[in-house]
């Protein structure tokens, strides 16, 4: 992916630009899903994923990552926008970019979980799972109905 520009922000998948200390602080101190996550674990999770960041100039202001095999499945997680930059569509932009990027790679099934941002993810095409309403998916596999036991 080449860097994308929008309203003074740059979205990139260049992992060398990530401010790991900042991402760790966001996840460990400010998120509800990764409270207390160690710096080493955050760093390892970034290394094992396809990370995406949004920058305002040289300052990282948002982050998300996709855990994927690059062929059949991706889990979108750790979507975080710095409080000072919320309300500007950066989270949706991150997710839409990940969906586009994964789709271009042929990945047809994307999942994520959220406690409170269902509307944000619906706008990106995600729907609730047939199971617990905390989880959402974007499943475009042609075999989905058969897997769920539907005609």
Q: 32-74 pLDDT, tens per residue?
A: 888 888 999 999 999 999 999 999 999 999 999 999 999 999 9
Residue 128's pLDDT is 87
Tell me whether residue 151 is in a domain: no
Tell me whether residue 61 is in a domain: yes
Q: Tell me the two tokens of residue 39.
A: 């710096």
- Rounded distance, CA 19 to CA 21, Å? 6
- Rounded distance, CA 126 to CA 68, Å? 17
Quote the percentage of the chain above a pLDDT of 70.
89
Number of domains in the chain: 1
Tell me whether residue 41 is in a domain: yes
Q: 69-120 pLDDT, tens per residue?
A: 999 999 999 999 999 999 999 999 999 999 999 999 999 999 998 888 889 9
Tell me whether residue 136 is in a domain: yes
CATH number at residue 88: 3.40.630.30
> pTM for the whole thing?
0.85
Residue 115's pLDDT is 81
Residue range of the domain that includes 139: 4-146
Tell me whether residue 107 is in a domain: yes
């Amino acid at each position: 992916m080449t860097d994308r520009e929008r309203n003074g922000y740059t979205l990139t998948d260049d992992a060398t630009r990530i401010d790991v200390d900042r991402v760790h602080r966001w996840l460990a101190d400010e998120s509800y899903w990764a409270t207390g996550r160690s710096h080493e674990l955050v760093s390892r999770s970034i290394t094992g994923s396809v990370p995406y960041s949004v920058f305002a100039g040289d300052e990282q202001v948002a982050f998300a990552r996709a855990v994927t095999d690059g062929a059949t499945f991706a889990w979108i997680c750790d979507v975080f926008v710095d409080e000072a930059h919320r309300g500007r569509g950066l989270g949706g932009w991150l997710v839409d970019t990940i969906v586009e990027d994964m789709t271009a790679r042929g990945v047809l099934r994307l999942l994520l979980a959220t406690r409170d941002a269902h509307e944000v993810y619906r706008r990106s095409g995600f729907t609730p799972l047939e199971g617990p309403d905390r989880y959402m998916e974007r499943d475009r596999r042609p075999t989905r109905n058969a897997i769920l036991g539907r005609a």
